Copies of this chain bind each other. A is one copy, B any other.
Amino acid sequence: MIREIEVKSGMKVSELVDQLSATAFNARRLGEACRIYREMVESDVFIFFTLAGAMIPAGMRRIVDGFLKNGFANALVTTGANVTHEIAEALGYRHKMGREDADDAELGRKSINRIYDVFIENEAFEGVEQFVAGIFQDLDGEFASYEILWEIGKKIGADSFLKTAYRKRIPVFCPTLHDSVIGLHLFVYGQRLRYSPQKDVKSMVDLCFQENRMGVFIVGGGVPKNFTLQAMLLSKGFDYAIQITTDSPQWGGLSGATLDEAKSWCKLKENAKTATVYCDATIALPMIYGYLLENV
């Protein structure tokens, strides 16, 4: 029975989410996603958190950090871009509130880079370059992405999910590390440092062979989604999967693919608990996080 949602003055986020669970469309999915996530955390499921999209520029970095600090994620799989922008923020450079209809040619002349309605100045990337140059120059040998990121996390002074990951020894996989601004720095300064994607694959596959039940929290598709799901191809399949996406199934791509499709590949178990929320993650992610903070 669909419950007529009742909203009250002063209502908490988690109360709203509970109400949404008995409605329809993506509100219901958001409610289901929260409940499934809660069950994952309370049942000691090993949780992979895959994060694509410009979530750090969009102001979500403390939430990502919170997922690691509170035990809501046991491994993070993200993009080179999110890592680059995280370092910039941790070094004190700030993303600005911009406009998506700005004059891009003029921004280019002013050395301001645009990410939809977010601006970031070139000097932020120069700061990142200075910071990572020394780290990359000091490293010698073959490294998985999470090992490189632990080195960075070790050196970061401010609060950062990279620092938390280092301290708690949570692996942050970045299978597209080279596909980012720090990927360019890696090429310039990492003369003796070799980023080894194969080592990443090995570590991911190893994680997928653990005894624990396993779940995946997918934000935004892309390589983080595929890289995590495919690691399970060799193992037994995820027990839980939650997906937040703005893509759609009918285009045939992986980012918009349903979680059911992953069952045909045996990346998910037949009876895996799943929920897909079609929503901008800047809205859905804070709500899920708020729900978990209060309920687990």
B-contacting residues of A (Cβ < 8 Å)?
A: 1-14, 16, 19-20, 22-28, 30, 52-54, 57-63, 66, 81, 89, 94-97, 100-102, 104-105, 107-109, 112-118, 142, 175-181, 183-184, 186-187, 190, 194-198, 200-202, 205, 220, 222-223, 226-227, 230, 233-234, 246-255, 257, 260-266, 270, 278-280, 282-284, 286-287, 289-290, 293-294
Contacts and interface: CB of A to CB of B under 8 A. Distances in A.
Nearest to A257: B116
B194 A196 contact: yes
26 contacts: A2-B97, A5-B286, A22-B97, A23-B60, A23-B282, A24-B58, A24-B97, A24-B116, A24-B252, A26-B250, A26-B280, A27-B280, A27-B282, A53-B252, A100-B249, A101-B260, A114-B265, A116-B250, A178-B198, A179-B223, A187-B201, A194-B196, A222-B222, A222-B223, A223-B223, A248-B278
Given A194-B194, A261-B104, A279-B279, A1 B96 contact: yes
Copies of this chain, complex-wide, total 4
A134 to B, nearest CB: 18
A63 B187 contact: no
A33 to B, nearest CB: 12
A210 to B, nearest CB: 18
A58 B31 CA distance: 14
Contacts of A270: 105, 108-109
